[in-house]
Amino acid sequence: MSDLPQAGDPMPDIEMGTPDGGTVKPSDFKGKKLVVFFYPKDNTPGCTTEAKDFTALKTEFDKAGVELLGVSKDSAKKHQNFIAKHDLTTPLATDSEEDGLSDALGIWTEKKMYGKTFMGMVRTTYLVDADGKIAQVWNKVKVKGHAEEVLAAAKAL
């Protein structure tokens, strides 16, 4: 596990798709602080709450000069539906390519539920500084209060 990017390491710069058919990668935000929150799946209870919590605080993040990016393996079409259904203003990206950003970070991994083993996203958030280095990592995030905690850390950075 120690070979995975940690605080102090550069954020891997891997391109992802956006819901509008464009692309985005961490270096696009160089010179700004960036919060990248990875979540398992659009329109599931925890993920919906997390995305809505970040959206609710987006103006606070904006005031603090912090960009937000929510990432899952869902398709651009699913992201579009998710954004429309919940009035999300937080930008989303699709990390669906093999060897994508979540693979590089080690958070697309084998999970077990109800006796079944499958590949899944570990809910993880990264705070990246203006130089593109990982400043803080939240592993296996519990959604309640998380967006507020990330905002406080981003403001302190």
Query: Do the beta carbons of residue 85 and residue 44 sit within 8 Å?
Result: no
Amino acid (one-letter) located at 66: V
Edge-to-edge order in the sheet of strand 23-24:
23-24, 16-17, 92-94, 66-72, 33-38, 124-128, 134-138
Please report the sign of the dihedral spanned by the C-alpha atoms of residue 77, residue 55, residue 27, residue 103: negative
User: From start to end of 64-149, where are the E strands?
Assistant: 66-72, 92-94, 108-113, 116-121, 124-128, 134-138
In angstroms and rounded to an integer, the radius of gyration of the C-alpha atoms of the chain is 14
118 included as an active-site residue = no
Which of 16, 36, 47, 68 is flagged as catalytic? 47
What is the set of active-site residues?
Answer: 47
